[in-house]
């Protein structure tokens, strides 16, 4: 008769990877439980997204007062947001304020880059191998490594040969970057590129934008928040967060349940005009419900937005190059812009369509396309991320029987509730693929997951349980459900990180079911049912 494996006392009960919004909230919850916990952070300070992304124009695209934490009334009462869509420096100050207020910093180890994590099934612990040569063991490994934290560079010849500064937007230097009078190249027109281009067009000498394919963008309509308005927001926080809880995306914007064809044309055009003039994601998430589901409805609204671009860009030939032809509005995350289209009306801003004239190589002095050579003082790569799974692929997670997570997920993630993976016991993904947090206003989603996971942790600790793992059947059913939730949405056809596409990453040229599209309320209900049924779908032992 085979003896039951015996749990060995690890160095730490819980280890959290990442000190961004998600990891910090989980740290706070575990400390309140009295748990033995530490956070490993590869940066030299807290903040996650808001620590790494320092490029000009970087800011929230969700309303500031819906993005902050909701768990502390005292925190809500004392923090003033200065803009409706807060900029990166303020966001980083907010995160540091939270860390200091709740005394989290002593529990965080900085400059800790996790390279490998290996599960020991005999002793029921994880062994973590750090880049500095240290090892650390823990009972429960909690990942909070971000969905957009693995930047991807383009695969271009000669990138190391450029004599001037060049970097990905994710690695924008902490020290000031001299832009005045400089000849600057920006490669990429995704959400980051759109923010950056609008912000620096008036600062640089010459700006040349290299666009692979255009995105549908909409005006952010940012504005300052006055003291009186902030007081009003503070008085309505309960109402604001309740509204977020009841919308599919966790924003204050919920869909209009009417269909396009049900509304007379004049009335729907007036509605779309109001949406285009409304701040934030209203134009994407507050639209008629079938705009994101029906080809004809989407085509009509896309034509409306295309006409807006034509109105804003004075050169009609250039305007057409900025209008997407391969996908409709909203089938991938909509970049929110400030002065982006107007930037192209400036004499010092130029657009190069690399679909027409491909980049052949980076040269010591600039960029060579099939048409000509360009000289630059600075090259900025706004080429996006190996989204959702990229950060996981960057760490060698080894589960039972030597199974490697990056191999197991080669054709797309397999999870249960977006929280755990069969064969990787005691590893919890707090913002993992196929969870609702990736498709919602992020802090609203992560508070849901962290609160629920903390309840599970309390349950297992109180009962002396040392091993938690989903059953293969539960994982298969959840993954099938995630796939099913894609079928009614046009985004299933998009080549975006929602569907796992990234031409800069080998093998990421096919659909992979990365996010949960069932909406935040449905996801919360599913989590509640699982807990009420004694954590159905998990093996606890």
The residue-averaged pLDDT of 211-238 equals 97
Determine the Cα–Cα distance for residues 128 and 427; give it in Å rounded to an integer. Answer: 12
Dihedral angle sign, alpha carbons of residues 299, 304, 309, 310: positive
- What are the angstrom distances between the C-alpha of 266 and each of 191, 269, 495? 31, 5, 33
Most confident of 309-313, 324-328, 511-515: 309-313
Specify the 3-state DSSP secondary structure of 118: strand
- The CA-based diameter of the chain, rounded to the nearest angstrom, is 81
Please count the residues of the chain. Answer: 541
Determine the Cα–Cα distance for residues 512 and 264; give it in Å rounded to an integer. Answer: 38
pLDDT at residue 5 tops 80: no
Confidence of residue 147 (pLDDT cuts 50, 70, 90): confident
Give residue 2's pLDDT. Answer: 46
Q: CA dihedral defined by 372, 375, 376, 381, rounded to 10 degrees?
A: 30
pLDDT at residue 449 tops 60: yes
The residue-averaged pLDDT of 10-33 equals 98
Which residues fall within 8 angstroms of residue 50, CB to CB, at 6 or more apart?
Answer: 20, 88, 91, 92, 95
Which residues fall within 8 angstroms of residue 364, CB to CB, at 6 or more apart?
Answer: 158, 161, 162, 163
Q: CA dihedral defined by 526, 523, 417, 498, rounded to 10 degrees?
A: 160
Determine the Cα–Cα distance for residues 175 and 382; give it in Å rounded to an integer. Answer: 19
Confidence of residue 508 (pLDDT cuts 50, 70, 90): confident
Give residue 492's pLDDT. Answer: 78
- What are the angstrom distances between the C-alpha of 531 and each of 113, 238, 454, 482, 538? 33, 26, 12, 20, 10
Determine the Cα–Cα distance for residues 411 and 409; give it in Å rounded to an integer. Answer: 5
Confidence of residue 4 (pLDDT cuts 50, 70, 90): low
Dihedral angle sign, alpha carbons of residues 519, 521, 524, 530: negative
**Least confident window among 30-39, 53-62, 342-351, 436-445:** 436-445
411 vs 7, more confident: 411
Determine the Cα–Cα distance for residues 215 and 191; give it in Å rounded to an integer. Answer: 8
Element (H, E) at 40: strand 37-40
pLDDT at residue 102 tops 90: yes
pLDDT at residue 15 tops 80: yes
pLDDT at residue 107 tops 50: yes
For residues 46 and 95, the answer to whether their CB atoms sit within 8 Å is yes
Residue burial 288-301, b: 16+ Cβ < 10 Å; e: rest: bbbbbebeebbebb
Give residue 424's pLDDT. Answer: 98
- What are the angstrom distances between the C-alpha of 251 and each of 220, 413, 438, 445, 470? 15, 26, 13, 10, 30
**How many Cα atoms within 13 Å fall on the side-chain side of residue 111?**
3
Confidence of residue 219 (pLDDT cuts 50, 70, 90): very high
Give residue 1's pLDDT. Answer: 38
pLDDT at residue 6 tops 70: no
Give residue 496's pLDDT. Answer: 75
The pair of structure tokens assigned to 461 is 């600790």
Q: What phi, psi does 504 have (nearest 5°)?
A: -85, -5
Crossing angle, helix 442-462 and helix 237-246, to 10 degrees? 80
Confidence of residue 437 (pLDDT cuts 50, 70, 90): confident
For residue 204, which of 219, 186, 183 has the smallest C-alpha distance? Answer: 183
The residue-averaged pLDDT of 207-228 equals 97
For residue 394, which of 113, 19, 169 has the smallest C-alpha distance? Answer: 113
């Amino acid at each position: 008769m085979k003896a039951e494996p015996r749990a060995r006392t690890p160095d730490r009960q819980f280890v959290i990877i990442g000190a961004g919004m998600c990891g910090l909230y989980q740290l706070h919850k575990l400390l309140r439980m009295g748990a033995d916990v530490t956070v490993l952070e590869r940066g030299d300070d807290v903040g996650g997204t808001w620590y790494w992304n320092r490029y000009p124009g970087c800011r929230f695209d969700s309303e500031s007062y819906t993005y902050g934490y909701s768990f502390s009334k005292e925190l809500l009462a004392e923090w003033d947001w200065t803009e409706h869509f807060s900029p990166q420096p303020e966001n980083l100050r907010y995160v540091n304020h939270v860390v200091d207020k709740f005394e989290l910093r002593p529990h965080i180890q900085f400059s800790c880059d996790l390279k490998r994590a290996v599960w020991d099934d005999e002793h029921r612990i994880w062994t973590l191998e750090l880049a500095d040569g240290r090892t650390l063991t823990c009972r429960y490994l909690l990942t909070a490594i971000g969905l957009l934290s693995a930047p991807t560079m383009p695969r271009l010849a000669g990138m190391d040969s450029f004599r001037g500064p060049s970097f990905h937007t994710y690695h924008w230097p902490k020290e000031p970057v001299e832009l005045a009078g400089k000849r600057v190249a920006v490669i990429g027109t995704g959400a980051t590129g759109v923010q950056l281009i609008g912000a620096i067009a008036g600062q640089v000498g010459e700006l040349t934008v290299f666009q692979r394919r255009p995105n549908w963008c909409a005006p952010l309509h940012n504005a300052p928040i006055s003291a009186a308005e902030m007081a009003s927001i503070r008085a309505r926080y309960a109402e604001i967060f309740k509204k977020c809880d009841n919308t599919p995306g966790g924003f204050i914007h919920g869909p209009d349940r009417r269909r396009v064809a049900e509304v007379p044309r004049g009335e729907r055009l007036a509605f779309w005009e109001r949406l285009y003039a409304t701040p934030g994601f209203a134009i994407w998430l507050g639209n008629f419900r079938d705009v994101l589901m029906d080809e004809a409805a989407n085509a009509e609204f896309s034509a409306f937005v295309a006409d807006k671009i034509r109105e804003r860009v004075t050169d009609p030939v250039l305007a057409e190059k900025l209008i997407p032809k391969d996908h409709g509005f909203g089938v991938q995350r909509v970049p929110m812009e400030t002065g982006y289209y107007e930037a192209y009306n400036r004499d010092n801003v130029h657009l190069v369509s690399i679909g027409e004239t491909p980049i052949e190589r980076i040269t010591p002095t600039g960029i060579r396309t099939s048409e000509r050579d360009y000289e630059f003082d600075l090259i900025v790569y706004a080429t996006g991320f190996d989204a959702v799974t990229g950060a996981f692929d960057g760490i060698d997670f080894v589960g039972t029987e030597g199974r490697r997570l990056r191999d197991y997920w080669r054709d797309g993630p397999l999870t249960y509730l977006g929280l755990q993976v069969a064969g990787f016991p005691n590893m919890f993904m707090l913002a993992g693929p196929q969870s609702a947090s990736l498709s919602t206003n992020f802090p609203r989603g992560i508070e849901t997951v962290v609160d629920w996971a903390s309840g599970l942790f309390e349950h297992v600790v109180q009962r002396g349980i040392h091993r938690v793992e989903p059953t293969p059947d539960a994982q298969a059913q959840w993954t099938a459900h995630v796939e099913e939730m894609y079928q009614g949405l046009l985004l299933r056809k998009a080549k975006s990180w929602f569907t796992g596409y990234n031409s800069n990453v080998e093998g990421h040229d096919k659909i992979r079911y990365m996010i949960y599209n069932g909406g935040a309320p449905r996801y919360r209900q599913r989590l509640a049912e699982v807990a009420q049924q004694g954590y159905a779908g998990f093996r606890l032992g």
